[in-house]
């Protein structure tokens, strides 16, 4: 028996070789054997196969008026034989039946395929909607074709121009304009953003990277500070005692979120035959919880933001400026703090520890500077901005020695700071690429680094242990086998050499620190009956925080690399984002081999790989020529100089 059937969007003819159960084996004219399922295949038995059977059926199909066919079709399930009797008044041959089958299959707007080769007419209201959609799709295809042709000619259609940079958002990738640009990009061998830049929709590479990042960030805008505070979480009624100490902070010159400060008090101790002294060190951490509860943070978008965002040219603080001014430990102000007082003997051994909530006076905000280098040259007679730093440095070196501190040598490597000067706006909303990049080198391991890092590690360790012993859910930082994690289960931090480590000292910049500080307050202020975070809630907060941290970190690295590219280009031309060398304008830089085929520039934080052409050992290469820089694609091409 011969058969005409539809299989995988192709109409075929063949001869049935076997018909067993639900399967039919068909031998095609080519000799190939096909096995099809009866209930999933639309088929028609025919008496005789002619060489041009399918072509003749197609010609007849083209003469069928699908609307007339739909009108006469039964309103229940029907076969090709059923509808052929309705549509044709005369006797129907196999070619006409095949033509009807083609028409039914090719018009899903009017006919729906059912099982066992049957069909059903689509209701009138659904047909109307489908026809409208088809028309819209057709018009969109025509518009898409027009847009593509215009852009290939070098003309920017107004419709695309109106969409502007919104075409970079994920929500736009189903728009006709977006699809057209993607096809133009493929035709021209460019990326989508290269096409947008070519037609002036993107004004700069800086704008591209900024918009791409902002499209990934949700709820960046701060909500208005207006809510009914929960009395349970209200700490403004605390009558905080003022300490008699004066504290000093140490930060970068541009820092305005001052989380921490240190104080030092000498305590004379009488012994049997001589006098000695103990040292009382105060580690004072800003207390934003006096002005914000976790509920406030949720309402104001602080929790969603999760941490402050920094790039070389701008920054966005986690906490709004109105509250930051109240909580930041700015000089010549008295501020509420969470204090850890540690008593040391004259040999630098810890005698006791005490945690207090109080107010302190911040005497001075010290800044990194030349005094660090002077101290390294002469630690005895060098002049320091605060004499207490000399004692704090002695005590911090003892703390570091008592820790089983790993990777100390790596912490002494030079550190590059990329900044942008001559820039008017320094907020994330600005799309201006103005500014001159500046790269400064600062050696790590200075007196400021050691003092700040050691006393912050001490506070994070002491408070982490305290929270664990009080069975208070805590976000711990752990490190094992070189892998650092954040988790609610306590575990050792091998890299720092401590058994407990919880971020608590940057509550103005990181929401996780704010949470851990809140947990400390819940443990200390028992009578306030504050609502602490449960372990389950804290696990959720950790996941959210790490997602935002990864997003911000990747953007920060991208923008640092962008400004390093700009810094290199500035050596030859001002305020440009693209550069190609020529014989009259070569750009050669010193580099160091750092292993695994990787190099780094000596005077900028830029690592890269070089293909060794065999002229010299990889480790002997000390200079590279920069052949081209593209800030839009973020690509740099270099070659070794021998």
Question: Are 4 and 11 spatial neighbours (Cβ–Cβ below 8 Å)?
Answer: yes
Q: Which residue did the predictor score with more confidence, 113 or 208? A: 208
Q: Which residues contact 577 (CB under 8 A, 6 or more apart)?
A: 204, 205, 206, 433, 565, 566, 569, 630, 631, 632
User: Which residues, listed in sequence order, are joined to residue 25 by a DSSP beta bridge?
Assistant: 18, 35
Q: Is the pLDDT confidence value at 91 over 80?
A: no
Please return the burial class of 169, using the count of CB atoms within 10 Å of its CB with bins 0-12, 13-18 and 19+.
middle
Q: What pLDDT is stored for residue 254 in this prediction?
A: 86
Task: Name which of 110-119, 246-255, 610-619, 627-636 the model is least confident about.
Answer: 610-619
Report which of residues 86 and 329 the model is more confident about: 329
Q: Give phi and psi for 624, each to the nearest 5.
A: -130, 150
> pLDDT-derived band of residue 7, with 50, 70 and 90 as boundaries?
confident
List, for residues 575-623, the tens digit of each pLDDT value: 899 999 876 788 999 999 988 888 999 999 999 988 766 666 677 889 9
- Per-residue pLDDT band at 324 (split at 50, 70, 90): very high
Cα torsion angle, 161, 314, 410, 546, sign: negative
Q: Which of 220, 199, 198 is nearest to 210 (CA)?
A: 220
pLDDT of residue 86: 87
Tokens 């010609």 correspond to what residue?
59
| Residue-level pLDDT at 617 | 67
The strand ranges marked E within 271-405 are 275-286, 309-311, 314-316, 333-344, 350-367
What is the pLDDT, as a whole number, of residue 42?
76
Q: How far, in Å, CA of 59 to CA of 10, rounded?
A: 16
- Residue 152 above 90 pLDDT? yes
- Please calculate the CA angle 394-271-399 and round it to the nearest 5 degrees: 20
Strands 476-480 and 119-121: unpaired
- For the cut 80, the answer to whether the pLDDT of residue 519 exceeds it is yes
pLDDT tens-digit readout, 466-514: 999 999 999 999 999 889 999 999 999 999 999 999 999 999 999 999 9
Q: How many residues does the chain have?
A: 642
pLDDT band per the 50, 70, 90 thresholds, residue 219: low
**Per mean pLDDT, which of 2-6, 7-11, 286-290 is the most reliable?**
286-290
pLDDT of 264 > 80? The answer is: yes
- In the predicted structure, residue 227 carries a pLDDT above the cut 60: no
Mean pLDDT of 532-553: 95
Average pLDDT over residues 268-281: 82
- Residue 428: pLDDT over 60: yes
Name 599's bridge partners: 593, 608
Q: Write down the pLDDT at residue 613.
A: 66
| pTM metric for this prediction | 0.82
Q: Which of 249, 318, 254 is nearest to 285 (CA)?
A: 249
Question: How many C-beta atoms lie closer than 10 Å to residue 327's C-beta?
Answer: 23
pLDDT of residue 490: 95
Residue 232 has pLDDT above 60, yes or no: no
- The 8-class DSSP code of residue 356 comes to E
* Mean pLDDT computed over 519-538: 92
How far is the C-alpha of 326 from the C-alpha of 585, rounded, in Å? 53
Q: Are 368 and 442 in contact (CB under 8 A)?
A: yes
349-384 pLDDT, tens digit per residue, is 999 999 999 999 999 999 999 999 999 999 888 999
Does 392 score more than 80 pLDDT?
yes
Least confident of 10-24, 204-218, 561-575: 10-24
Tell me what the mean pLDDT of segment 247-274 comes to.
90
pLDDT single digits (tens) 398-419: 999 988 766 555 556 788 999 9
Range from 48-52, 114-118, 262-266, 422-426 that averages highest in pLDDT: 262-266
10 vs 471: CA distance, rounded Å: 69
Instruction: List the Cα angle 579/584/588 in 5-degree steps.
Output: 65
Average per-residue pLDDT for the chain: 90
Q: For 159-175, what is the mean pLDDT?
A: 91
**Could you give the CA distance from residue 479 to residue 465 in angstroms, rounded to a whole number?**
16
């Amino acid at each position: 028996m011969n058969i005409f059937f539809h299989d995988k969007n192709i109409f075929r003819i063949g001869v049935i070789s076997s018909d067993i159960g639900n399967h039919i084996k068909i031998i095609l004219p080519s000799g190939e054997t096909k096995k099809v399922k009866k209930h999933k295949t639309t088929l028609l038995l025919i008496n005789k196969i002619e060489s041009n059977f399918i072509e003749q059926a197609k010609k007849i199909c083209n003469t069928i008026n699908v609307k007339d066919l739909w009108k006469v079709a039964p309103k229940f399930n029907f076969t090709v034989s059923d509808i052929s009797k309705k549509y044709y008044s005369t006797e129907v041959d196999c070619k006409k039946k095949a033509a009807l089958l083609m028409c039914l299959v090719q018009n899903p707007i009017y006919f729906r395929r059912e099982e066992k080769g049957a069909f059903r007419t689509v209701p009138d209201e659904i047909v109307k909607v489908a026809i409208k959609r088809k028309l819209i799709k057709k018009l969109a295809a025509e518009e898409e074709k027009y847009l593509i042709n215009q852009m290939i000619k070098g003309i920017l259609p107004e419709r695309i121009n109106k969409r502007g940079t919104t075409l970079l958002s994920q929500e736009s990738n189903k728009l006709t304009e977006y699809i057209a640009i993607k096809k133009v990009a493929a035709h021209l061998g460019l990326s989508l953003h290269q096409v947008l830049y070519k037609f002036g929709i993107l004004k700069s590479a800086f704008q591209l990277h900024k918009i791409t990042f902002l499209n990934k960030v949700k709820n960046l805008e701060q909500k208005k500070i207006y809510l009914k505070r929960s009395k349970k979480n209200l700490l403004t009624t605390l009558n905080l005692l003022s300490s008699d100490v004066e504290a000093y902070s140490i930060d970068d010159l541009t820092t305005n979120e001052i989380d921490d400060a240190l104080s030092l008090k000498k305590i004379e101790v009488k012994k049997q035959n001589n006098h000695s002294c103990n040292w009382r060190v105060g580690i004072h951490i800003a207390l934003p919880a006096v002005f914000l509860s976790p509920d406030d943070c949720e309402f104001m978008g602080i929790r969603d933001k999760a941490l402050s965002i920094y790039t070389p040219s701008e920054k966005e603080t986690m906490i709004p400026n109105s509250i930051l001014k109240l909580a930041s430990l700015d000089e010549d102000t008295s501020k509420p703090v969470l204090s850890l007082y540690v008593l040391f003997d004259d040999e630098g051994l810890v005698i006791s520890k005490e945690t207090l909530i109080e107010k302190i006076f911040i005497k001075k905000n010290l800044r990194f500077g030349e005094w660090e280098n002077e101290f390294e040259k002469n630690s005895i007679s060098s002049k320091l901005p605060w004499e207490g730093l000399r004692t704090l440095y002695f005590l911090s070196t003892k703390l570091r020695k008592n820790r089983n501190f790993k990777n100390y040598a790596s912490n002494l490597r030079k550190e590059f700071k990329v900044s942008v000067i001559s820039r008017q706006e320094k907020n994330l909303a600005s799309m201006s690429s103005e500014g001159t990049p500046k790269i400064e080198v600062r050696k790590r391991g200075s007196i400021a680094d050691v003092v700040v890092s050691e006393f912050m590690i001490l506070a994070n360790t002491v408070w982490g242990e305290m929270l664990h012993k009080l069975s208070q859910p805590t976000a711990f930082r752990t490190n094992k086998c070189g892998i650092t994690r954040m988790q609610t289960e306590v575990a050792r931090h091998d890299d720092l050499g401590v058994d407990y480590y919880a971020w608590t000292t940057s509550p103005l910049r990181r929401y996780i620190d704010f949470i851990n500080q809140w947990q400390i307050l819940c443990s200390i202020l028992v009578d306030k009956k504050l609502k602490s975070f449960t372990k389950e809630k804290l696990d959720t907060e950790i996941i959210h925080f790490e997602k935002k941290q990864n997003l911000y970190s990747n953007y920060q690295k991208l923008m640092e690399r962008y400004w390093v590219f700009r810094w290199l280009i500035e050596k030859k031309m001002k305020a440009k984002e693209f550069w190609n060398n020529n014989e009259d304008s070569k750009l050669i830089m010193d580099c160091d081999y750092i292993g695994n085929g990787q190099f780094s520039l000596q005077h900028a934080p830029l690592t890269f790989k070089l293909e060794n052409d065999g002229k010299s050992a990889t480790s002997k290469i000390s200079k590279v020529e920069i052949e081209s820089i593209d800030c839009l694609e973020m690509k740099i091409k270099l070659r070794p100089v021998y």
